[in-house]
Amino acid sequence: MKKLCILFCTALLLCSASLFADEPAAYDYGDEPMRYLKNDRVTLGIDLSIGGAVTWLSDGVNGGENMINSVDWGRQIQLSYYSGPVPYIGPNGEEPHKEWRNLGWNPIQSGDCGGFRSKVTAFKQISKNKMAVQTIPMLWPNENIPAECVFECVYTLMPNGFVLDATIKNARSDTRQYPAMRQEIPAIYTNGPWYKLVSYLGDEPFQKKPVTVLVDKNDEKGWPWINYYAPEHWTALVDDNGMGLGVYQPEATRISGGFFGGDALKGVGGPKDPQTGYIAPLSQMILDHNIKRTYRAYFIVGTIDEIRSRVYKLAKKGTPNLPVWKFDGDRHNWTYEGSARDGGYPIDGCLDISFDASPQGGIDGPETFWVAEKTPILEIDAALLFDDASAGEEAALSANFAPVSPHDMVDDIKWPLNPQQEKEKAEKAEKYPVLPGFTAQVPIAADGTRGVWSVDLRQYEQYTGAMKTFTVGFPARKGNIKIYGIRLRAAE
């Protein structure tokens, strides 16, 4: 089973100096591959024989039983990334397994679907509460093909959980810029007792509003995985006692989760049983051939109230009040559409984007959450230049806004597998519709002049209430645009 200021800047967006030298040789972990961090409540264990992925997490307050599933190398708590081409064919013409060919280039931390393990090249015990591991991952869909990248993970124990700082360093020989794909940041698989999937779905995040049980006993839900909008950026899997594991990922508002194994197996099973709970915070991201990028995820054990309380404290410390992106070193999960392409990594001070008249280009913002009435002014710090521009020429960018909709208040099946599921998905889409968005025009010079181009969104009656994302469309001309920052702010 397979698993500008900075928006929500608890993420560590670019990796600084590495903890490790380049060490292609396998790390000698001796007779015992497990390494542990422990405190009065939590035990965290990683397995150096499968890439340093997390194979043990237990909560002493809840009996001390291991919560992490490891029936194959696609489970565990582990890093998992996706890029093109789809399918990925190995350097010697190796075809991926048919079941997984649509995943594309998919390095994961533990190993591949054929049972070949990822290789740890370095390990450090930094302190009694911190350890780090460096790994050459395997490509999950293929068999015995190491990925042209390196993973580095730093695990830091907290009183009621741990923090994961996860870095990917690509060194691909294929230098093409593939379209953005959804990344699991990270993938989490629990044992059968932790089956109940819980999160907050709604348009009043961080207001202590009631949570939603997305998967429960005897509800015939869980597989296929479900998708949902979680504006508080967390989800938990808990047991019959209401205790378990939550993950808070400030970069992710879209989450996939569920339970594999059916209703009869909800609540039972161990690390080598096939039934499993699943959570994956998702982020749309371009993985350049040479990218170096780090994210941070928080894992919290306890009751839903304990998990959510900790999330609120973390969010209060790390989340800006208003949506602001500064493109100095990172795209911050903005992606491209149509003919738009940038010059690749590193991102040096701005998004330097070229585009053609057809297909029309644009950039897509990450899903997030904000309230329209608090942020009526859109500002784009940019310089637009058409290839055939004349001095003083003007144009307009199209800002296309999407509100939080009834569809965002419920879960959605990730991929229907049979006619009944297709029917249920269609019925849910009709009952909980996606509300229409609207487009605002942002005037801008088209002769290369840099400026902060703004529009007052109060002139658009549709700009009201909870909003979740927007895109910026370019004129249907051939040209270049340098975008230094985008923000939504209060009126002066």
Residue 320 has pLDDT above 80, yes or no: no
Residue 220 has pLDDT above 90, yes or no: yes
**What would the mean pLDDT of 290-303 be, rounded to a whole number?**
98
Cα 71 versus chain centre, distance: 24
Q: Which DSSP category does 144 fall into?
A: S
Q: Give pLDDT tens digits for 16-45.
A: 446 666 656 899 999 999 999 999 999 999
Domains and CATH numbers, the chain: 34-318 (2.70.98), 324-489 (2.60.120)
Q: Which of 18-27, 36-45, 86-95, 399-408 has the lowest mean pLDDT?
A: 18-27
Q: What share of the chain is helix, strand, coil (3-state, %, to 5)?
A: 10, 40, 45
Alpha helices in 40-185 (DSSP H): none
% of residues, the chain, pLDDT over 90: 91
- pLDDT at position 20, please? 65
Residue 14 has pLDDT above 70, yes or no: no
Return the higher-pLDDT residue of 333 and 9.
Answer: 333
- pLDDT at position 318, please? 66
Backbone angles phi, psi at 60, to 5 degrees: -60, -30
**Distance (Å, rounded) from C-alpha 379 to C-alpha 271?**
50
Distances in Å between the alpha carbon of 277 and those of 59, 198, 233, 245, 347? 17, 12, 18, 11, 37
**Distance (Å, rounded) from C-alpha 75 to C-alpha 187?**
8
With H, G, I as helix, E, B as strand and everything else as coil, classify residue 179: coil
CA dihedral 385, 388, 393, 399 (to 10 degrees): -50
What is the model's pTM? 0.94
Q: Which of 388, 387, 382 is nearest to 479 (CA)?
A: 387
**Distance (Å, rounded) from C-alpha 79 to C-alpha 259?**
19
Residue 321 has pLDDT above 90, yes or no: no
Distances in Å between the alpha carbon of 269 and those of 27, 216, 279, 367? 32, 16, 18, 35
Tokens 């995985």 map to which residue? 225
Q: Which of 64, 242, 47, 43 is nearest to 162 (CA)?
A: 43
As given in the structure block, the two tokens for residue 79 are 């890093």
